[in-house]
Structure 1
Amino acid sequence: MDFAVPDRALEIGARVEKFVREVVIPYEKDGRRDHHGAPLDEMVDEMREKARAAGVMTPHILPDGSHLTQVETAYVLIKSGLSPLGPLACNTMAPDEGNMYLLGHVGSPELKDKFLKQMVSGHARSAFFMTEPADWGGAGSDPSMMKTTCRKDGNHWVVNGKKTFITGADGAKVGIVMAASEEEDSKGGACMFLVDLPDPAIRIVDVPNTIDTSMPGSHATVEIENLRVPADQLLGQPGEGFKYAQVRLSPARLSHCMRWLGCCIRAQEIATDYACRREAFRKTLIDHEGVGFMLAQNKIDIQQAELMIYWCASVLDTGDLGTTESSISKVAVSEALMRIADNCVQVMGGTGVTDKTIVEQVYREVRAFRIYDGPTEVHKWSLAKKIKRQWRDAQAQDG
């Protein structure tokens, strides 16, 4: 595998890092937040205007509409993640980054012109409507349980159902809605639709407070009642929704790893600075093995996480969906980043659990990351099934 980062990505990444460190980080103390603690669109729009001026808006998508390779994207997105606000300012944040990737790969020229352009420019936030409420018996980590339905009605599709934990739904202008098809020609599969938001047929019923606070609009529960979608806003082919979900989710899991690694690198910088300045028992904290060893372990975990990300990125660049590799990377990196964030809090003691630095926020954000885009346990279960299947295949070949 070739993990070498090309010069163009090095140059883009350097500009992104400079912008995040010099322009974005001061916004971490900005009080323009909603009651959930998430940044208000007013603040996001202001940062994005500065990102456009600096030439770092949506840096992983080039002016001609082509994407950086996954290896190049990894380098750039890690730099954007040096602040929890960096991906918002540079338009590399979930769910928009994953939605742009999906639409870029599956969308028709007409859908790209209507929806993708405004997303790439950073003038529209988006939401991905897939997960459903557990008390409704709907789809979570198992999309085959999807109960939201769609059916044809003339030159429209009609969608009914419920969705939950829909990141950014409140305030989004573009939605990708996934529903199980009731049509025979869909062969029991699912469909995806592009919709303009807000739409009165999609009603937000709850926006709970959550442990993470980095994403505008938080994570809403919505009810969809007789949503009428023009037939030409069907994404791809009917019945192929589950396949398209994998087109989106495999690289999206890895993008999360990239961004949160950037945050943990920054948390390590802050904790290291604290440990090298703070004294206790007549020497600096880092000179106490209990503290110094935690920072040393963090350095090891950061390096391993980075290698894991570039390994998976190189697989995706071969054209493989990389579902196995993305599952391995999601588990390994999310668990490593949790150790890093926890160690940074511990090194800083009381200061580490305050909002004096972004360390405590990084801890909260990474804790949530261990759940979304598939909890650790779901990925391990999936990997175990593949291990068993490979064993059976080997036994069959041996006769």
Structure 2
Amino acid sequence: MDFTLPPEIDALRLKVRAFVEREVIPLEADRANYDAHENIRLEVLAPLREKAKAAGLWAPQMPKERGGLGLPMVGWAAFYEEANRSIFGPLAFNCAAPDDGNMNVLNKVLKTEAQKDQWLQPIIDGRIRSSFVMTEPHPGSGSDPGGMMLTRAEKRGGTYVVHGRKWFISGADGATHFILVARTSDDPRNGLSAFLFHKDQPGWRIIRRISTMGPDELGGTCELEFDGLEIPEENRLMAEGDGLRLTQIRLGPARLTHCMRWTGLAKRCLEIAQAYVKERKAFGSTLAEHESVQIMLGEVAAEIEKGRLLTMHAAWKLDQGSKAQKDISMAKIHVADTLNRAADVGVQLCGARGYSKDTVLEWIYRYARCAKLVDGASEVHKMVLARSLAKEGNDFWGWG
């Protein structure tokens, strides 16, 4: 098995690392660069994105003919990990959630170039942002959208009329293009459909931007109400009843790209901690010379490497045409846990400095908690693995 990156991808990875070190990380130190929700201010992001475009580091997941880099999935893994050495990195390169997952699914399912020009290209160019609208308040859909979704899109002639409520919708505040999943029939397998709508269409509103322990991704998480939104039939994605299939097309790779980015954040936590313990002295020696500190760093370093291997293996399988469902679930569980542990160890080793806002450790520490929840709670992914084990037996551990 050869884990060596192709030379062109490795060169790109190093280019991203240098850009992040030079252009992105320095922005973290100035609180004036943060918005009210603790992400990068749009006025600061815009020129940073222009620099990334000029450097040839824009939209790594999108086709070259549409202004992206056209990387395979293993290239995404290498690129995204370096991008998220900074908390602002993915936004700088246009590979941050939820736009990243939305661009990927729209590129796959939109049928015509005209549709891509209208709905996809503005997101690729960074002129607008997007949002994926699926999760609902209880008793509506969460981890079981097929069986629990309550928002309905009723077909009237050539138009669908939408009524319902959604919440915890990432990036909705300030988004222009939305992908909506709603119920179109009571069929247990084919009852959901997916649609595109524009922010200026009447019949819907953002009820509130939900406060979280944060920090928030750009656009926050919002609660939405639909009260007669009309969507023309031509803005339905895929066939009627294919909504659940669309979510699977989107969420599989999206879960894995989270793992790619979270690995970068976990590495950054160790990077900050290592620099501190080399300088800080206690009881006559640096913290780095204490065996207990070495054990903490070594254990987390090993967990990060396990996560990288799980993520890269799943990326490789996706490149081979596999759905890689269990592989993505394994990566999602492990990398989410590792990010939380890396952030905790980073704060612990840096002491009061780690708990303060003098570094980004406390930012990452608060952000990390959502990793065990987003795109399927860890318990749901463990259920996926248990089902695969029951079905496959010893073949669960195959090499293919």
Equivalent position of 2:72 in the other structure: 69
For the residues of structure 1 that align with 2:259 and 2:90, how far apart are their CA atoms? 13
- The structural deviation recorded for 1:183 is 8.3
Q: Aligned runs of 1:147-226 on 2, under 5 Å?
A: 147-182=150-185, 188-226=190-228
C-alpha separation in 1, matches of 2:223 and 2:72:
34
Aligned partner letter, 1:105 = K
Q: 1:36 offset after TM fit, Å?
A: 2.8
Residue of 95, 99, 109 corresponding to 1:96? 99
- Supply the distance in 2 between the matched residues of 1:187 and 1:298 (Cα, whole angstroms): 42
2:266 corresponds to: 264
Paired residue for 1:117? 121
**C-alpha displacement at 1:287, in angstroms?**
0.9
Give yes or no for contact 2:181–2:195 (8 Å, CA) kept in 1.
Answer: yes
In the superposition, relative to structure 1, how do residues 8 and 189 fare at CA in structure 2: closer, same or farther (>3 Å)? farther
Match of 2:111 in 1: 108
- 1:239-294 CA-partner distances (Å, limit 9, x unpaired): 01111111111111110011111111112111000000000000000111121211
Q: Which residue of 1 aligns with 2:246?
A: 244
Contact 1:128 1:177 in 2 (8 A): yes
Give 1:382 shift. Answer: 2.4
Distance 2:271 2:392 in 1: 43
Query: Following the alignment from structure 2 to structure 1, what is the Cα–Cα distance between the partners of residues 84 and 45?
Result: 15
Residue 198 of structure 1 deviates from its aligned partner by 4.1
Matched with 1:299 is: 301
| AA partner of residue 51 (structure 1) | A
Moved more, 196-205 or 160-169: 196-205
What count of residue pairs does the alignment treat as equivalent?
391
> Which whole-Å CA distance do the structure 2 matches of 1:187 and 1:311 have between them?
30
- Cα deviation for residue 188 of structure 1 reads 4.1
Percentage identity across aligned positions? 37
In structure 2, the residue matched to 1:129 is 133
In 1: Cα distance, 2:390 partner to 2:309 partner: 27
Asked if the contact 2:182/2:194 (under 8 Å) is kept, the reply is yes
2:12 paired with 1:12: yes
Q: 1:33 to 1:25 in 2, by over 3 A?
A: same
Alignment pair present for 1:342 and 2:341: no
Partner of 2:153: helix, strand, or coil? strand
- 1:227-376 superposed matches below 5 A: 227-376=229-378
1-structure distance, mates of 2:21, 2:135:
35
Q: Could you tell me whether the CA contact under 8 Å between 1:165 and 1:220 is conserved in 2?
A: yes
Q: Aligned pair in 2 of structure 1 residues 332, 124: CA closer, same or farther (>3 Å)?
A: same
For 1:263 and 1:214, the matched residues in 2 are separated by 15
TM-score using structure 2 length: 0.92
- Give TM-score scaled by structure 1 length: 0.93
One-letter identity of the residue aligned with 1:329:
A
Between 242-251 and 194-203, the greater mean CA deviation after superposition: 194-203
Kindly report the root-mean-square deviation, in angstroms, between the aligned alpha carbons of the 2 structures.
2.1
Could you tell me which runs of 5 or more consecutive residues in structure 2 were left unpaired when the two chains were aligned: none
